[in-house]
Amino acid sequence: MFREAWVTGADGLVGAKVLDSPWLTSLDCVGEKWTVDLDTSDGLTQIHGETLAVSYSMGMGVNHAPGSFVLAHGMGRFTWDGEVACGLIERSAPIEALV
């Protein structure tokens, strides 16, 4: 599983370990609120978010075979230490978890 994060710190970009991030749990995820927990050299960082819009890619074309993944590409609203911004979010899940 590929999980990498970077945050800005006093000395520039700081690597972060992803402790928890939002897996896709439903195809009806617009309005869903979630949190990303990151461990940095400065301690725990939490970024709260809400999915605003989403589109789906189910593999190369629509593949409902067991083991295939559904990818959700969307827009999110992120809140980090009182600052709010909008940006891209990508979430995924095995198709078996969503059907």
Torsions phi, psi of 62, nearest 5?
A: -90, 105
pLDDT, tens digit (0-9, with 9 covering 90-100), for 12-24: 898 999 999 888 8
- Percentage of residues of the chain with pLDDT beyond 90: 44
DSSP label at residue 27: S
Please compute the mean of the pLDDT values over residues 7-33 and round it to a whole number: 89
Residue owning tokens 């959700």: 72
Please compute the mean of the pLDDT values over residues 12-38 and round it to a whole number: 91
**CA separation (Å) from 64 to 43, 57, 70, 89?**
41, 11, 9, 23
Looking at per-residue pLDDT, the higher value among 96 and 3 belongs to: 96
**Which stretch of 1-5, 37-41, 72-76 has the lowest confidence by average pLDDT?**
1-5
Task: Say yes or no to pLDDT of 96 above 90.
Answer: no
Pair of tokens at residue 92? 């995924």
Dihedral, CA atoms, 49, 38, 72, 79, nearest 10 degrees? Answer: 20
